[in-house]
Structure 1
Amino acid sequence: MARVLVTGASGFIGQHAVQQLQLSGFEVHAVYAHTCIATQASVVAHRTNLLEPGSVEKLIAVVRPEQLLHLAWCAKPGVYWTSPENLLWVQATLRLLEAFQDQGGQHAVLVGSCAEYDWRYGYCREEVTPLVPASVYGRCKNATRELADVFSQVHGLPIAWARIFHAYGPFEAPGRLVPAVINALLNGQTALCSHGEQLRDLLHAADIGSALVTLLQHQAQGAFNLGSGEPVRLREVVEYLATQLDAMHLLRMGAIAVAADEPPLLVADNQRLAQLGWSAQFDLQHGLDDVLAWWRGRV
């Protein structure tokens, strides 16, 4: 199998992607900046800050990857949406592509976000739904995609752009919805939620990892939505978690105000991805059960 370089390998999605790549037989080179990742013999770890001058070129020269999976980005909860660091990642991604191309790289998968879309449309389809990002994060992701498109055209490098919707699963940041509710309830604390009527597209992170592997295996090109394709009401998600933990009395629906610009519906059309033969292994119930078991083992 191909030698693949994975940036952001110690992150939430990165850890799942590395696991799926191992299962698929890739020679995995995993990049982390701060938090060391637990690796098996089949994974080579590289500690590198991709924002430092010259670091990208040195890394690529050492690894000489055939394929690239670029997940690294500013992702700190509560910060990344407006952080000026997003601009640095636009530049770093272009440097990464240039070094990868110069060292004989053959195919790249870059990771985008549903934040690139115009959320007023709700149901998002690649090449159809307008790209009108409203946040610094979304605008920088979209700008990176445009640069990657130009790079691909100029240099002939096949590049896939993977737009992730709403991931959940083991290793997720504790402050995000699913782990925040689980941890509050496991500790006998009140879980404060919004009204929960929002419809969202949730996909287990292991399935996102397998989707990224599918894009690498097919040397896919262009934009792909990574989502379940099925809207679910957030109220149903948190009520399921509370029911499983026998803690419905600790849920406080409507305790948190919903932002004025938060869309009532945001869901992926995932048919382009499905046409490559990908399908999710977790339905929502089994996915939430998996996450519950994971957090129970850590409380």
Structure 2
Amino acid sequence: MEVSRTRRVTASDVAKAAGVSKTTVSYVLNQTPHQTIPEHTRRRVIDAVRQLDYTSLAAARALRMGRNDLVLFVLPDWPLSHALTRVIEQVTDGLARRGLSLLLQRLGPDRSLISLWRQLAPAAVMTVEAIDAKDELLIRKGGTFIAAAAISDFGIKQDRIGAMQAQHLISRGHRHFGYARSSNPKLEALTTERYEGFRRACLALGLNEPFTVDVDLSLDSAIGAVRKLSEAPANVTAVATYNDEIAAAILAGMRVAGMMAPQDLAVIGVDDEPFAQFMSPALTTIRQNHALFGSHFADRIAAGINGEMLPSSPKLDVLALVVRDST
């Protein structure tokens, strides 16, 4: 259906093009709870919105006001760890100082990025994962600043985290390693990247492949993982973990098995969670500078919204080894 460009496209135009009611269009675009819209119907509405270049009332209000001070942060489908929470806090504070507000949203089967963008008309969209190329083009053409794949762009490379763990354990004289992965499927990509960094660092020095175990943050799983590490063909003397929570689980499993760190098995985590320093033994870990990241990213978003030159990444390292008693 062709709609004259001499007038603004309305929800009624979208409904007619999609072959649905105006109410259905409203349900789809506003993510109305307790309404079950078939996927094929939802897709027809979204396709009609894209075809007609429909602009929501939120966008119209933003145009009348001259700007929208909302920054949409599309949360990844990960657990809200202490690390991610700290990033959110720092970005929120940094944006608030610039008169901008951060809104957190997750995507899902009935909540697409494009529908959220059209509904909210944010000044910027922030993600820690890459955006679909077609969606990114549409959003940029609409005048919205996008800061995508923010963590990797900033320099927090997941494989580098794993490499730093390996380098520390090697410096302690260890040559036979284990790696404790998270069994949470939502963390598979991050777990794999960190493990690959650890693995490559070992192989680069002619060491054997690390012996891997999966942990699901239950005591039984931790005990089983420690048992497997103890019975591994190689004499595993040190284990790197996906994060501090997995490290805590491994240490708990070791206590049940009557093992001590680092005498029987050295353990290193990631994130420097608040509890890490209070564990027994205190946990060696890799710290990510979330305050620096959040402040820089708020500056980057504000500059992008205002059409200014984007600030370069700080010279300071965002990753740091924190050595404690577990290694």
- The structure having more radius of gyration, on CA atoms, is 2
Q: Is the pair's TM-score, using the shorter chain for normalization, greater than 0.5?
A: no
TM-score by length of 1: 0.38
TM-score by length of 2: 0.35
Q: Name the structure, 1 or 2, with higher relative contact order (CA <8 Å, separation 6+).
A: 1
Higher strand share: 1
